[in-house]
Amino acid sequence: MKVFGIIPARGGSKSIPLKNIKLLNGKPLIEYTIETALASKVLDRIAISTDHEDIIRICQQYEEIDVIVRPPELATDEAPTEWTLLHACDEIIKKDNFLPDVVLTLEPTSPLRSIQTIKQCIDIFKTTDADSVIGVTETRACYGKIVDGRFEYLFPNQPRRRQERKPLYKESSTIYATKLDTLRYKNSVLGEKLYTLIISCNEAIDINESFDFKLIEALINLKKG
């Protein structure tokens, strides 16, 4: 089974300019994902898909990484990530005749993703009939919606004590993996046989705002201590 790890990293970001290479504890954000992917030793190829020269320059320091230049039409807010993944696959097939079985999507905004998570994700394909895997985190929160100013529980009559509630699970952008055939047919990272990988809440923290950088820097420094 050939696994192709793709790190999508476009230059545009409304919340934080050039977020993917903003320094996190003195190191460009994207490097955390690159180094974890390399250290996992379970990916046959790893590529960065980007449209920005500064991101290209940083990623070219890693000789083991393919840098795929993304066309402008795939770097807009409206362009689905799946288009980027398929473009990267087509480019690597054209360049080296490398045909992956599984495409692993590693967003650079999840710098705390562990080596073990990548390995466990790949193991699911080896031990099940999965055509795709999604990272999820557990929650025991009470969710609802607001209707005419009133709060209505999505799941009524849940216990008031958090410990007594049954866990729910929410999608995490930490990791996705999809068989290439499924990705092409469904045009989605989510297939019909979608298996889950439960990820700890700390590992699954996703950087969207400036505060998230400060939070993750604090967690990194705590681990060092």
Mean pLDDT of the chain: 95
Please state the rounded mean pLDDT for residues 106-120. Answer: 97
Residues 22-65 have pLDDT tens digits of: 999 999 999 999 999 999 999 999 999 999 999 999 999 999 99
In the chain, the largest separation of any two C-alpha atoms, in whole Å, equals 58
Q: How far apart are CA 5 and CA 59, in angstroms?
A: 14
Name the token pair of 206: 């996703």
pLDDT at 15: 77
User: Would you give the distance in Å from CA 162 to the centre of its chain?
Assistant: 29
Going from N- to C-terminal start, the domains of the chain cover 3-136+171-224
Kindly report, residue by residue over 152-188, the tens digit of the pLDDT: 999 999 999 999 999 999 999 999 999 999 999 999 9
pLDDT at 77: 86
Structure tokens at 219: 């967690």
Token pair for 53: 């020269």
pLDDT band at 13 (very low <50, low <70, confident <90, very high): confident
Contact (CB, 8 A) for 190 and 134: yes
The single residue listed with the structure tokens 């216990």 is 159
Q: What is the pLDDT of residue 17?
A: 86
The Cα–Cα gap between 122 and 156 comes to 37
Q: How much is the average pLDDT of 110-137?
A: 98
Instruction: Provide CB contacts within 8 A for 129, sequence distance 6+.
Output: 193
Residues 6+ apart with CB under 8 A from 224: none
Query: What pLDDT is stored for residue 86 in this prediction?
Result: 98
Highest mean pLDDT, choosing among 32-46, 73-87, 196-210: 32-46
Render pLDDT for 179-193 as a digit per residue (tens, 0 to 9): 999 999 999 999 999
Tell me whether residue 107 is exposed, middle or buried, using C-beta atoms within 10 angstroms of its C-beta: 0 to 12, 13 to 18, 19 or more. Answer: buried
pLDDT value, residue 225:
65
pLDDT at 223: 79
Nearest to 89 by CA among 187, 171, 166: 187
If you count them, how many residues does the chain have? 225
Residue 75 has pLDDT above 80, yes or no: yes
The class of domain 3-136+171-224 in CATH terms is alpha beta
